[in-house]
Amino acid sequence: MACNCKNTITSFLGGDVPNPTTFLNCGEADGTYNNPLETGKTQCVAEDNVLRILDEYYVSGTVKNAGQIVFERTVTGETVNEYFWQNDGTFFKPIAYTDSRLSAQTLNTSGNVVVGGDVTVGTHDDTNFLYINRYNAILPYAHLYSDRLDNNVESGFRFLTRNSSGTAQEAFLIQGSDRKATFQGNVVISGTNTTLNTLSANTAINVGNGVGTVSAATFTGPSTLLGTSRDTGEIGVVTATTVVGKYSGVTVQNGGTDVSIGMTVGTFRPNMLIDVGMGGGTGDLSITLPTISTWDAGKYIFTFYGTPNAGGTFALIAGGSDKFYGMSICLDGNEIISNASRITFGAGKTIAGTKIEVIASEDQVQVIVHLTANKADVTPS
């Protein structure tokens, strides 16, 4: 076999030798050469031959290559644990164990990628994302599966965020079996929310910041508050073919300053129960009924709850030029109400249990006031 060197022979099989001829003390021309290559020695690789280098290759002498030199790495169970593979632009090669990860600019695979440890995408405050492409045109979604295989056990999803202190905390949980989703914080929906089955809450559901619309085939609740404010009487509306319940109503309350509420049949539907709280502060609360023409033959019931503030007064005012006719039933007797446009309770006298019933007739508002106070504590005027 000819060597890539002039007037040299690497393998002599006999015969005439031209002069001048130099016989080199070469190492193995094919296979592994035992390193290091000493000073003064020549390593020759003949044409069509391959020199395979394992691990490191130390050269102190001369290397003449007419074939191919391949550098390889010995990988054992021990070195797999101590080294990882890094992409040098052409091949993956093992480097220092301290990094212990697979590192590459781009890694393309047509098969499955199975990772035994954690997967980290990007670095902190970087611009990297995790992308999942669409499945197909029939199922145009990016698919996330909980668990790879069917292990006959429940498996859901749990999403954690970090607070401003960097502490991980659960934010969103999806159960595996019943697929129940639990949010630890507030859920804000900017678009339309469609609930096909049951919508329930342990505390409150706020729709549209208090001015949204709830649409349901059946709406059931022991106590439902609609609207933006208990203090101002901006009450929402429930519209349905049939409303079934103990009553439909709203709660209003006084506050630290005086509050006046003008009722309309749009915000206070006739036959509604208005639950009034007078313990919210020292402010007075006055409610003006709609004019008779808008709620003829309708009825409103006002009930009072809690302990009233000693500084707050309450007044019920007839709408427009309408007048009250009826009776006050007090602890110390009854009092006739006639041609009154206003019924005023003294400060702190709307004691729990007080009730006012008003009915609109053609030309007057019939009223019955049930007091847990005396006649002097309520004044028709």
pLDDT tens-digit series, residues 272-283? 889 999 998 999
DSSP state of 358: E
- The pLDDT tens digits for 327-357 are 999 999 999 999 999 999 999 999 999 999 9
Whether pTM exceeds 0.85: no
Which pLDDT does position 250 carry in this prediction?
81
Any domain includes 164: no
Asked, for residue 369, whether it belongs to a domain, the answer is: yes
Q: What is the DSSP string of 238-306?
A: ---S---SS--EEEEE--SS-EEEE--TTTS-TTEEEEEE--S-S--EEEEPPPGGGSTT-EEEEEEES
Domain-located, residue 74: no
Residues spanned by the domain of 368? 218-380
Asked if residue 31 has pLDDT above 50, the reply is: no
Say what the pLDDT of residue 205 is. 66
44 in a domain, yes or no? no
How many domains is the chain built from?
1
Matching residue, tokens 């709830």: 214
- Give the dihedral sign, CA 150/153/154/158: negative
In a domain, residue 345? The reply is yes
| pLDDT tens-digit readout, 90-130 | 555 555 544 444 445 566 666 677 776 778 888 888 888 88
Domain membership flag for residue 333: yes
Residue 194 domain-assigned (yes or no): no
Distances from the Cα of 357 to the Cαs of 82, 248, 289, in angstroms? 86, 15, 12
The yes-or-no verdict on residue 288 having pLDDT over 80 is: yes
End-to-end CA, the chain: 129
